[in-house]
Structure 1
Amino acid sequence: MVSTRFLVVSLTSLALAFAQTDNCPEIPVTGVTMGEPVPMKPEDIPKGCSDYEILVARGTSEPNYEAGGGKFGIVVGDPVVSNTTLKLPGARGYPVQYPASANIISGSLQGKTDVVKRLITQAAACPRQTFALVGYSQGASVMHSAAKEIPLVLYGRIKAIVMFGDPALRLGEVLSRFPVGLNGKVLEVCAAGDPVCDPNGTCTFYHLTYIRPSYINTAVDFIVKGFTGK
């Protein structure tokens, strides 16, 4: 497998180089084998309390930006968390503990269970902590599943939900909604042409372009506003 540093350079350079047009650029050679599970590292789980916590469910086989100290996924989670913490020093990230592998049914169940457990546990231990949920691709599906089981009493503690490349969007507006009480806090980020979320999309390349600053900055601003009300 190529180094993570080369991977992030490849993704960033190509994502910035191509505008979203009718052309379909080739997917960069990243060395990542799609479907392979991502190792979960207990040492990456933050302890204690914080003012704000961002739960991130990564995309399928999405590695970390290890060269930059990433823990949440090189395309979406790492840039979202790092940029949010720069704007909001009291924020931190939590990597959802699931393999993000080709075993989608069992993996999604594991991810959903972990999200709900984390929210319940942290909310009880940290009365002032509030939360944001971020999901990318398969991770977005994990968040949809988790949202159905989050206790109603915790809805007020969840301040923002951001989905990148959400497969549920292909099912239509009604089926892609979150439960009442959460749906008004959702930002859906779908690149035009991305076949995972765009019903008219046909180019897989665009599913890797969420690392673009235009997408990341929009998500970060949404999360910060959700947390602070500003």
Structure 2
Amino acid sequence: MRTSSSILTLLSVPLALAAPVIIAIPEGGLNIRQSSDTRNDLTDGSACKAVTVIFARGTTESGNVGALAGPPFFSALATAIGTDNLAVQGVDYPADIAGFLAGGDAAGSKLMGELVGQAITQCPDTKVVMSGYSQGGQLVHNAAVQLSADNSAKVNSVVIFGDPNDGDAVGSIPAANVDVICHDGDNICDGGIVILPAHLNYSMDAAAAAAFVKGKTGL
């Protein structure tokens, strides 16, 4: 799908990087905000649910789950398995460009792993889903490597949208339990640093991602 681009932003990043970061932002792109950009179903004391999604948003997105990929995925998953079966916990981390260029914010990656562990301990019967978009995908990869063998084995499934580490294993989680969704023409998925329209329309894959998780959870 093609999205018209209205703004071209050139960001010079003060890191050991010769090339600039070019971000092509479509109409309404990274400024999308909605009330569901923050989810804390695990940490706010809510009752345990059958499925718990730990989600890391993309670079510059608002809240702790953003708007471009996370909320559409949660909505589709709630429809697929039932709202009463779903809990969502966002990862609070800076989601800045420096973190992306570093391979994913280190503190955010650690926090994501800790949240997975908290979900497993706090809700032993829940099926944990690790998910992220863009830099959030980097966090998923990093956090998965940091999980203990026991906790890694208890991760039910993984969904990554626009994965900068496309092609890499997600820790020791079986590949059959991992769904990486990358669009043709998404430079981020190709290991680049250029954000084009193909990286900004992963909401179209929400239903397919939800169907994958539904199949893995058996709900």
Q: Is the TM-score greater than 0.5? A: yes
Question: Any conservation in 2 of the 1:98–1:107 contact (CA below 8 Å)?
Answer: no
State the Cα distance separating 1:102 from its structure 2 match.
Answer: 2.2
Normalised to the residue count of structure 1, the TM-score between the two structures is 0.72
- Residue in structure 1 matched with residue 14 of structure 2 by the alignment: none
Local SS of the residue matching 1:148: helix
Q: Which letter does structure 1 place at the counterpart of 2:171? A: P
Q: For the structure 1 residues 200 and 124, does the alpha-carbon distance in structure 2 shift closer, same or farther, using more than 3 Å as the test?
A: closer
Contact in 2 for aligned 1:79/1:216 (Cα 8 Å): yes
State the alpha-carbon separation in 1 of the partners of residues 141 and 216 from structure 2: 19
Residue in 1 aligned with 2:52? 53
TM-score of the superposition, structure 2-length normalised?
0.75
Stretches of structure 2 lacking an aligned partner (at least 5 in a row): 6-24, 32-36
Structure 1 pair 28–44 and aligned structure 2 pair: CA distance change class (3 A): farther
**2: CA distance between counterparts of 1:76 and 1:161?**
14
**Cross-structure match for 1:158:** 155
Which residues of structure 1 form unaligned runs of 5+?
1-18, 34-38, 65-70
Look up the match of 2:93.
Answer: 98
In structure 1, the residue matched to 2:176 is: 184
Deviations 1:54-92 (A, max 9, x none): 11100011236xxxxxx6221111011122112222112
Q: How far apart are the structure 1 equivalents of 2:143 and 2:49?
A: 22
- On the 8 A contact 2:38/2:65 being kept in 1, the answer is no
Tell me what 2:80 maps to. Answer: 87
CA contact (8 A) 1:40 1:97 kept: no
- Correspondence for 2:69: 76
Report what 1:139 is aligned to.
136
Say if 1:203 and 1:76 are closer, same or farther in 2 by CA, change over 3 A.
closer
- Residue 145 of structure 2 contacts residue 172 of structure 2 at CA under 8 Å; is this kept in 1? no
Dislocated runs of 4+, deviation >6 Å: 39-44, 199-203
- CA shift, 1:31, in A, is 7.3
Q: Which residue identity is paired with 1:142?
A: L
By percentage of residues, which structure has more helix?
A: 1
| Residues 106/204 of structure 1: CA separation in 2 closer, same or farther (3 Å cut) | closer
The aligned residue for residue 208 of structure 2 is 218
Residue 203 of structure 1: how far off its partner (Å): 7.0
* Counterpart contact for 2:56–2:131, Cα < 8 Å: yes
What number of residue pairs does the alignment pair up?
190
State the identity as a percent.
24
Q: State the shift of 1:106 in Å.
A: 9.9
Contact 2:104 2:138 survives alignment (8 Å): no
Query: Take 1:207 and 1:121, find their aligned partners in 2: how far apart are those partners?
Result: 31
Q: Distance in 1 between matches of 2:61 and 2:43?
A: 18
Distance 1:149 1:188 in 2: 19
Partner-residue secondary structure (3-state), 2:197: helix
The answer to which of 180-189 and 84-93 deviates more is 180-189
CA apart distance, 1:44: 8.6
- Tell me the residue number matched to 1:13: none
Q: Does the CA contact (< 8 Å) of 1:46 and 1:94 recur in 2?
A: no
Instruction: Give the deviation of 1:107 after TM superposition.
Output: 6.7
